[in-house]
Structure 1
Amino acid sequence: MLKKLFKKTPETIDYVAPLTGKATPLENVPDEVFSQKMMGDGLAIEPTDNQIVSPIDGEVVDVFKTKHAISFRAENGAELLIHMGLDTVQLDGKGFSISVENGQKVKKGDPLGTFDIDEVSKADYKTITPLILLNGEQFQLSEVIGEQDVRAGTDVLFKIVKK
């Protein structure tokens, strides 16, 4: 009990890849909302595998009804979004199987579900997945990796630092 009362909130956290694939700067996402960082700063992954894992220790805030996006709150208060594919809201959940729910506590690497990248591609949607820091007024990204292959649950994409 006392440990919880005096537990220090981390100022900086590591954000690990939620998908296996190729990391790319947000500016390369072919959607202005993401590439111009209208929603916030971040990175994107062009996935090569269907498995989605938690990128942080924290809580699932919202699994979108259409299952194409999940938002989180990290232990340090950073709010994050995984947006699987572009315009995939129009698929109304087809190609997505999410195994977590709102309010659920998660740890880095915990399975979140699957993103059927083949099915989404066949439906003529892009699978590139923006990873967004939603509350950039309170947090910033540091040590952001460049274009490279990343493994889900293992490779650190960036650090999230409290301002």
Structure 2
Amino acid sequence: MGMFDFLKGKSGDGDSAQTLMSPVNGKVIAIEDVQDPVFSQKMMGDGFGIVPSDGDIYSPGNGKVVSVFPTQHAVGLLLDNGVEVLIHIGIDTVELEGAPFDTLVKEGDKVTPETKVSTVNLEELASAGKENTVIIVFSNMDQVDKFDLSTTGETARGTEIGTISSKK
């Protein structure tokens, strides 16, 4: 229990529903429209994609960092409601071995939608022939009660785009 627990509203089990914010400026798309079958067929979990207009990537919600990949193309978060989120930057970008990416957080860091977790050089991705879609995947779907993506299309970072509820 932290001293800021009162900020979460009702006491007790915490809120199972968390608002999701767009983590990057760009076009929000359904996960089915992501150009990679591993993601579009939800093999990794449900979620959404954003075709970014800039390379500054923020957390989609409140939580903490649980994994930073050595190749820097992905960051794993645990939201305060217990849902695991994988932020995966681009498609097949693990092959770039970290070159265009800069992870700005480390394991254990608290994050909010105001936390910039990563930057990516979109020009470098383009010249490497990689799709730049930022993919947000809920990787522990057994803990997810309901995911609602209420906004698609061009959005500004920090725009409310949906909610994710966990089973409590």
Candidates 105, 116, 130, aligned match of 2:121: 116
Does structure 1 retain, via aligned residues, the 8 Å contact 2:152–2:161?
A: no
Structure 1 position 47 matched with structure 2 position 55: no
Aligned-pair Cα RMSD in Å: 1.9
Percent identity between matched residues is 34
Q: Does 1:156 align with 2:156?
A: no
Question: After the TM superposition, which residues 73-152 of structure 1 pair with which residues of structure 2 at under 5 Å, given as runs?
Answer: 73-152=78-157
CA contact (8 A) 2:18 2:165 kept: yes
Q: How many residues align?
A: 162
The structural deviation recorded for 1:16 is 0.7
Q: Deviations over 1:72-93 (max 9, x none)?
A: 0011111001100000000000
For the 8 Å contact 2:145–2:166, the answer to whether it is kept is: yes
Segments of 5+ residues of structure 1 without an aligned counterpart are: none
Which amino acid in structure 2 is aligned with residue 75 of structure 1? D
For residue 149 of structure 2, give the secondary structure of its aligned residue in structure 1: coil
The letter of the residue matching 1:155 is: T
Superposition pairs for residues 9-24 of structure 1, below 5 Å?
A: 9-24=14-29
Contiguous gaps of at least 5 residues in structure 2:
none
Taking structure 2 as the reference length, the TM-score comes to: 0.89
Query: How far apart, in 2, do the equivalents of 1:67 and 1:2 lie?
Result: 30
Matches of residues 59-70 of structure 1 in structure 2 within 5 Å?
A: 59-70=64-75
Please list the CA deviations of residues 26-83 of structure 1 after superposition, one character each: whole Å capped at 9, or x if unmatched: 1111111001000000110000111111111110011111000011001111100110
Q: Take 1:59 and 1:125, find their aligned partners in 2: how far apart are those partners?
A: 28
- 1:18·1:109 contact (CA, 8 Å) conserved in 2? no
Deviation at 1:120, TM superposition (A): 0.6
Deviation of the 1:19 alpha carbon: 1.0
Query: Are the counterparts in 1 of residues 28 and 50 from structure 2 also a CA contact under 8 Å?
Result: yes
1:34 paired to 2:49: no
Displacement of 1:142: 3.4
Q: TM-score, normalised by structure 1?
A: 0.92
User: In structure 1, how many angstroms separate the alpha carbons of the residues matched to 2:130 and 2:24?
Assistant: 17
Q: Measure how far apart 1:17 and its partner are.
A: 1.1
**Counterpart residue type for residue 160 of structure 1:** I
